[in-house]
Structure 1
Amino acid sequence: MNKAHGWTDYAERLSRVQAYIHDHLDQPLDLARLAEVAHLSPYHWHRVYNALYGETIAATVRRLRLHRATGYLANTALPIEQVARKCGYPNVQSFTRAFSGLYGTSPSRYRAEGGHTVFRQGLAQAQAAGHTVQVRHVPAVQLAGVAHVGSYMRMGKAFGQTHASMAAQGLMRPDTRWMAVYYDDPYAVPEAQLHSRAGLSLPPDHHAAVAAPLEPFTLGGGPCAVLRHQGPYATMRAAYQWLYGQWLVQSGHEAANLPVFEDYLNHPGNTAPADLLTDIYLPLAG
């Protein structure tokens, strides 16, 4: 098969489209321009995208814009009008319609009553809402991925690059795990300087070196406090504050000199925001 017509080449081209979208969510996104980014025919590229990724380009843009909006609503005091503009919506009315359609509530109500507010009410309230922490040994996972610098809410770009590279190298499997490691505290480090890494698990029988831009790394391999989080990713910033500021200090455990990491148990492309499941791992001193 000519590589120009193979899955790996299309994956690489469409990963450029995803990266471009992430970088221009606050701007109009024209299909013809995205076709140029992909170096594919404007008549056909979006059909290829839909076939490969299981959602239309319009659905991807909407999902990513509203994902970014949840971060602003949950973690900043920006006026909703500003949030709308920063997420590519021309006015509050169109933003509210789109947000309510996906999240089932208005932006203002989400800010006031979203899942992030449960963690801010204290340990007992969070546990009453079903948030519990397990302490267990976590087996090591071998992964390959790419580094990301900037807002943790924009990790999707790094995952898109990782996925395309893994597919191009024939390393994707049905049981591939999507994980990420976060090196910095967003409350202590400026957003533009936050360091993290997106990774996908390598097949257990894989022994060859991965090719650039992928880099191999390992997560786990020791005791961890594990908090299963359900809901939009924006809620997790408050969950982290609860895990460190409430659970850890009352648990009798000590955090290890290792960064936290996350394991994404389902995918936002085919899962409602309220049903997203993420395991948050806090490594503990042995």
Structure 2
Amino acid sequence: MLMKTNDNRHSYAARIGRVVDYLHDHLEDELNLDLLADVAAMSRWHWHRVYTAMQGETVVATVRRLRLSRAADRLANSDADLGDIAKRAGYTTAEAFGRAFKQSYGMTPGAYREGGSHALFKASNRTSDASGFPVEIVTLPAERCVAVPHKGSYMQISRAFEQLFAAAGPAGLVTRQSRMIGVYYDDPHAVDEDELRSAACLPVDEGRAVPDGMATVETRGGAYAKLSYKGPYADMRDAYRWLMGVWLPASGHEAADGPMLEEYLNSPADTTPPELRTDIFLPIEA
């Protein structure tokens, strides 16, 4: 009986995972609950209750959050027209997009493009101000993680995290103390976006079994430079440019072999983008 219960949990996790995949692949398409029920291969009467219970938010909230996050990325990191960004985010008018964006990000799209947290890092990059943001040297232990690999834009690693927690939750690996770590293997300036490799990771004790279909990753132990960042994930490209191009050359430290890490201290499912907190870790020589 216990085996059947566990199998059922994994089956539901896999079906919700298919919905997560579909949402990311068709985020700019028209979506409806009946279509997503077919993707999940679940009852049209009840599948959305299962999704909400397992994901911690409704599908409507997920789609809105992901679309606005992509819009924020385009505002911060491109010169795309505001009207086009609004349309691709699923809004028929710039006014409706502006209201929704301000509700989540605390400012209008135009104000965000000019003065979001990315603008502070851009200014420090222009002036080569190595003291503009606090960086701490820390030592991290190596950690064993269950993981879901991701290939493609780093801005879309949320897909892997949603798959990770959809599978790890029913396996009993998620607790209130669980931590979320992103491992980023490639330089986005040197590798095509479609080929970027990363992993969504959940540290677990050595003795815990890994659910079927999930990978394991061991993070590097050793010295790191930690930049504590607060703000939308879309703004972090300029934080990386500052850390690597301004702080590191002025610091006297040498970068060490090993991937960059990010630890997410709160969740976009229940935190507004300006309040998101992320620790960015650059491996350095001891």
TM-score (norm 1): 0.92
SS at match of 1:122: helix
How far, CA to CA, are the matches of 1:65 and 1:226 in structure 2? Answer: 29
How far, CA to CA, are the matches of 1:113 and 1:281 in structure 2? Answer: 25
2:81 counterpart (64, 79, 82): 79
SS at match of 2:43: coil
1:179 counterpart (165, 178, 181): 181
Equivalent pair of 1:3/1:9 in contact (CA under 8 Å): no
Match of 1:48 in 2: 50
TM superposition shift of 1:242? 0.4
Equivalent pair of 1:67/1:234 in contact (CA under 8 Å): yes
Asked whether 1:219 is paired with 2:235, we answer no
Counterpart of 2:185, as a letter, is Y
Worse-superposed segment, 37-46 or 257-266: 37-46
Asked whether 1:273 is paired with 2:273, we answer yes
SS at match of 2:70: helix
How far, CA to CA, are the matches of 1:78 and 1:9 in structure 2? Answer: 41
Asked whether 1:20 is paired with 2:27, we answer no
How far, CA to CA, are the matches of 1:148 and 1:205 in structure 2? Answer: 23
TM superposition shift of 1:269? 0.3
Counterpart of 1:45, as a letter, is W
TM superposition shift of 1:45? 1.5
The gaps in structure 1 that reach 5 residues or longer are none
Match of 2:232 in 1: 232
Listed one character per residue, the Cα deviations across residues 225-267 of structure 1 (whole Å, up to 9, x for unaligned) are: 0011111001111100000111100000000011111011111
How far, CA to CA, are the matches of 1:99 and 1:82 in structure 2? Answer: 14
Asked whether 1:206 is paired with 2:193, we answer no
SS at match of 2:71: helix
Equivalent pair of 2:182/2:200 in contact (CA under 8 Å): yes
* 1:246-265 paired onto structure 2 within 5 Å: 246-265=246-265
**Could you say if the C-alpha distance between residues 161 and 25 of structure 1 is closer, same or farther in structure 2, counting changes exceeding 3 Å?**
same
Counterpart of 1:188, as a letter, is A
Equivalent pair of 1:150/1:193 in contact (CA under 8 Å): yes
Listed one character per residue, the Cα deviations across residues 38-76 of structure 1 (whole Å, up to 9, x for unaligned) are: 111112221222223222211111011111111111111
1:151 counterpart (150, 153, 168): 153
| Percent identical | 44
How far, CA to CA, are the matches of 1:233 and 1:96 in structure 2? Answer: 19
How far, CA to CA, are the matches of 1:191 and 1:91 in structure 2? Answer: 30
- List structure 1 segments (4+ residues) > 6 angstroms apart after TM superposition: 123-126
How far, CA to CA, are the matches of 1:205 and 1:101 in structure 2? Answer: 42
How far, CA to CA, are the matches of 1:216 and 1:66 in structure 2? Answer: 31
How far, CA to CA, are the matches of 2:211 and 2:103 in structure 1? Answer: 41
Match of 1:32 in 2: 34
TM-score (norm 2): 0.92
How far, CA to CA, are the matches of 2:211 and 2:8 in structure 1? Answer: 19
How far, CA to CA, are the matches of 2:7 and 2:50 in structure 1? Answer: 11
TM superposition shift of 1:127? 4.7
Asked whether 1:245 is paired with 2:245, we answer yes
Listed one character per residue, the Cα deviations across residues 143-163 of structure 1 (whole Å, up to 9, x for unaligned) are: 111211111111011112222
**Could you say if the C-alpha distance between residues 126 and 81 of structure 1 is closer, same or farther in structure 2, counting changes exceeding 3 Å?**
farther
Match of 1:138 in 2: 140
Equivalent pair of 2:148/2:199 in contact (CA under 8 Å): yes
Worse-superposed segment, 80-89 or 232-241: 80-89
How many corresponding residue pairs?
282
RMSD of aligned residue pairs (Cα, Å) = 2.0
Match of 2:120 in 1: 118
